[in-house]
Amino acid sequence: MARPARLNAGAAQFGGGGRAEAFDNLRHADMSTMDDDAATDLWNSGGRHDYDHIQRTTGRFGNEHYFRNTIYHLFANTRS
């Protein structure tokens, strides 16, 4: 699997009906809490990891969120 796709801010949100709770049950990784070696290994893994959601803090733009494509059904499209 390639790196998880980046979720564009405002493009989608978690819908109701238990989807928010499903998000809480995902396997999360916050790269800002990892040491440099662990974060680098995760970033260079090419998607070969067990996480559904990865959060990465950038220097200028806040947090980026990456999601495994198998959980996209949890999102409700907000664009009309």
The pLDDT, as a whole number, for residue 23 is 80
In angstroms, the first-to-last Cα distance of the chain is: 30
74 SS3 class: helix
pLDDT of 4 higher than 80:
no
What amino acid occupies position 46? G
Cβ atoms of 52 and 26 closer than 8 Å: yes
Give the residue, 59 or 3, on which the prediction is more confident. 59
- Going from N- to C-terminal start, the domains of the chain cover 5-77
Tens-place pLDDT, residues 28-42: 999 999 999 999 999
Q: How far apart are CA 54 and CA 40, in angstroms?
A: 13
Q: How far apart are CA 35 and CA 51, in angstroms?
A: 17
Percent of the chain whose pLDDT exceeds 90: 34
CA 75 to chain CA centroid, Å, is 12
Percent of the chain whose pLDDT exceeds 70: 70
